[in-house]
Amino acid sequence: MIPLKHNYSYLILDDVGRVKPELRESGLYFLDTRVLNHYAWQFDGFDCLLRHAADGRQITEYWSLSRDHRQELAVERRLIMQADGLVDELTVSNTDRRFHRFTVALSLDSDFADMFEIRGQFADLDHRTLTCSRGTHEYEARYQATDDVRHSVSVDIQGAQFHDELEVAPGQTITLRVSIKVKSSLAQGTDMVDVKPDWLGQLPSNERASAVFQQASDDLRCLLLGTPQGLNIAAGIPWFVTPFGRDSIITAWLLLPRFPDLAKGVLRFLGAHQGQQLDEFRDEQPGKILHEQRYGELSRTGRLPFLTYYGSADATPLYLVLLAETVRTTGETTLIEELQPYWEAALNWMLQYRDERGLIVFRGNDKALAVQSWKDSSDSLSYADGRLGKGALAVAEVQGYAYAAYEAVAEFYQHLQRPSDAEHYRSAARAIQAQLHDLFWMPQQRNFAIAVDEASTQLDINSSDSGHLLWSGVVRPEYAEQLVPRMLEDDMWSGWGLRTLSTLEVMYNPLSYHNGSVWPHDTALFAAGLKRYGYTEAFAQVATALTDLAQSQDDKRLPELVGGYARATHPPLPYLDACRPQAWSAASLIYLLSE
Q: Taking residues 274-297, what's their average pLDDT? A: 96
pLDDT value for 194: 80
Q: How confident is the model at residue 97 (pLDDT cuts 50, 70, 90)?
A: very high
CA–CA separation, 167 and 94 (whole Å): 10
Q: How confident is the model at residue 21 (pLDDT cuts 50, 70, 90)?
A: confident
Q: Taking residues 412-437, what's their average pLDDT? A: 98
Pairing of strands 9-13, 113-114: unpaired
Long-range CB pairs of 374-381 (<8 Å, 24+ gap) are: 374/246, 374/314, 374/468, 374/522, 375/463, 375/465, 375/500, 375/514, 376/514, 377/512, 377/513, 377/514, 379/507, 379/512, 379/514, 379/515, 380/500, 380/513, 380/514, 380/515, 381/450, 381/451, 381/459
What domains sit in the chain, N to C, each tagged with a CATH number?
Answer: 2-187 (2.70.98.40), 354-487 (1.50.10.10), 491-595 (no CATH)
Q: How confident is the model at residue 124 (pLDDT cuts 50, 70, 90)?
A: low
Q: Taking residues 68-88, what's their average pLDDT? A: 94
pTM of the model: 0.94
Q: What mean pLDDT value characterizes the chain?
A: 94
b/e map of 304-316 (b: 16 or more CB within 10 Å)?
bbbbbbbbbbbbb
- Asked if residue 189 has pLDDT above 70, the reply is no
Pairing of strands 441-442, 27-30: unpaired
Q: Taking residues 10-16, what's their average pLDDT? A: 92
Closest CA to 554 of 50, 18, 27: 50
- Asked if residue 188 has pLDDT above 80, the reply is no
Pairing of strands 292-293, 47-54: unpaired
Range with the poorest average pLDDT among 85-89, 90-94, 302-306, 433-437? 302-306
CA–CA separation, 210 and 201 (whole Å): 12
pLDDT value for 595: 80
Q: Estimate to the nearest angstrom the gap between the alpha carbon of 37 and the chain centroid.
A: 23
CA–CA separation, 530 and 462 (whole Å): 18
Q: Return the H-helix or E-strand segment holding 465.
A: helix 465-472
Query: Could you tell me the maximum CA-CA distance found in the chain, to the nearest angstrom?
Result: 88
Closest CA to 168 of 74, 76, 88: 74
Residues of the chain with pLDDT > 70: what percent?
98
Q: Return the H-helix or E-strand segment holding 347.
A: helix 340-353
Residues 6+ apart with CB under 8 A from 85: 9, 28, 153, 179, 180, 181, 182
Residues 6+ apart with CB under 8 A from 425: 406, 407, 409, 410, 413
Q: How confident is the model at residue 469 (pLDDT cuts 50, 70, 90)?
A: very high
Q: How confident is the model at residue 435 (pLDDT cuts 50, 70, 90)?
A: very high
Q: Taking residues 134-139, what's their average pLDDT? A: 96
pLDDT value for 475: 98
- Asked if residue 127 has pLDDT above 70, the reply is no
Residues of the chain with pLDDT > 90: what percent?
87
- Asked if residue 28 has pLDDT above 80, the reply is yes
Q: Taking residues 456-471, what's their average pLDDT? A: 98
Residue 299 backbone zone (phi > 0: left; psi -120 to 50: alpha; other: beta): alpha
pLDDT value for 190: 60
Q: Taking residues 1-27, what's their average pLDDT? A: 91
Q: Taking residues 556-567, what's their average pLDDT? A: 95
CA–CA separation, 36 and 38 (whole Å): 6
pLDDT value for 22: 85
Q: Taking residues 300-324, what's their average pLDDT? A: 96
pLDDT value for 325: 98
pLDDT value for 126: 65
Q: Taking residues 505-528, what's their average pLDDT? A: 97
- Quick: pLDDT tens for 240-276: 999 999 999 999 999 999 999 999 999 999 999 999 9
pLDDT value for 286: 98
Beta-bridge mates of residue 182: 153
- Asked if residue 32 has pLDDT above 70, the reply is yes
Asked if 115 contacts 34 with a C-beta cutoff of 8 angstroms, the reply is yes
State whether residue 451 is helix, strand or coil: strand
Q: How confident is the model at residue 56 (pLDDT cuts 50, 70, 90)?
A: confident
CA–CA separation, 409 and 326 (whole Å): 13
CA–CA separation, 217 and 260 (whole Å): 15
